[in-house]
Amino acid sequence: MTTNRNKFLLQQATLSNADRTICQPINWELILAKTAPKWTPRSVRSYLTTVCELLNGHFAYIMSGRDIGKIEVTRLNRIPNEPPIKVNLTYYRMQQMFPQKISLRWIEQDKPMKIHMSAFEMWSKSRNRREIQPVASMPDQPPEIALEWLKEILSTARTDACAIEFGRSNARRNIYESWHEFVGSPAADDWSPKRISEQIYQLLGNRPRKGVRERIKGISVMHIPTEEECWDLLANRPNLHLRF
């Protein structure tokens, strides 16, 4: 069981001011150090590959399990002989914590080229980024991401920010858009309508009969329970802590 002290240390590890946490700051000066006296197409590609490889030592996309779509961040522990600190953060939180930019200009085929984006964003778009698939400890339970999505839409219920209507059938398109907005970019690209539907079916138990899909006026829909039913579902989940 995680002790209160360990929980406190993990909370510290998520703060953006690394100088005041138990984590050693990421050495951005080393990672982003210039590797060529002049930028050419070849040196730019080599530089970006090097930056991506160095960031793989700290970042990894989580591709399965309860934190799918988040990024695992690994940093060295300031306490001697203690293991590295690992936390899982959302894409949005990563953008906030790691804004360090890459700015390059070069000439390619007689045309001026440039790149200006955060190193994290470049890493997230790279084919060379590190990806991990943690082993699920409770495979019989609905994925945590579905629970988090449900809590998110419940927190905005009855407002213009909520695209879901509770206690009735909703256009699947609206449900999928709500899910994509929740997981954010670029994780949304990994979520097909079928995959999203499977997650919601497991959570809500509203899977239609095989070969049957409800339609209203030709529009494919999915029934979402009432707010009360959804709250009851969350309250009855084992080891679930509601956070608002």
Question: What Cα–Cα distance (Å) separates residue 162 from each residue in 129, 159, 174, 177, 230?
Answer: 33, 6, 10, 11, 15
| Residue ranges of E strands in the chain | 59-62, 71-75, 85-89, 101-108, 111-118, 131-132, 168-171, 215-216, 219-224
Q: Are 63 and 135 in contact (CB under 8 A)?
A: no
pTM, full prediction: 0.51
Spatial separation of the C-alpha atoms in residues 233 and 235, rounded to whole Å:
6
pLDDT in tens, 140-183: 444 578 888 998 888 888 777 788 899 999 999 999 998 988 88
Question: What Cα–Cα distance (Å) separates residue 19 from each residue in 2, 16, 44?
Answer: 24, 9, 31
pLDDT band for position 137 (cuts 50, 70, 90):
very low
User: What are 24's two structure tokens?
Assistant: 């050693």
Rounded to the nearest 5°, which phi and psi values hold at 42?
Answer: -70, -45
Q: Are 220 and 172 in contact (CB under 8 A)?
A: yes
How do 215-216 and 59-62 pair as beta strands?
unpaired
pLDDT in tens, 60-106: 999 877 778 889 999 988 888 888 888 888 888 899 999 999 999 99
pLDDT band for position 210 (cuts 50, 70, 90):
confident
pLDDT in tens, 57-73: 999 999 877 778 889 99
State whether residue 230 is helix, strand or coil: helix
Give 31 or 8, the one with higher predicted confidence: 31
pLDDT band for position 237 (cuts 50, 70, 90):
low
Instruction: From the options 2.60.40, 1.25.10, 1.10.10, 2.30.30, give the CATH code of 144-235.
Output: 1.10.10
What residues have CB less than 8 Å from 243, skipping those under 6 apart? 151
User: What does the mean pLDDT of the chain come to?
Assistant: 82
Examine the pLDDT at 242 and tell me if it is beyond 50.
no
User: What are 147's two structure tokens?
Assistant: 């629970």
Measure the CA dihedral 86/90/93/94, to 10°.
Answer: 60
Examine the pLDDT at 33 and tell me if it is beyond 90.
yes
User: How many CA atoms, within 13 angstroms, populate the side-chain half-sphere of residue 42?
Assistant: 1
Q: What is the mean pLDDT of residues 99-124?
A: 94
The residue among 187, 243, 180, 222 whose CA lies nearest residue 67 is 187
Domain segments of the chain: what residues? Answer: 4-132, 144-235
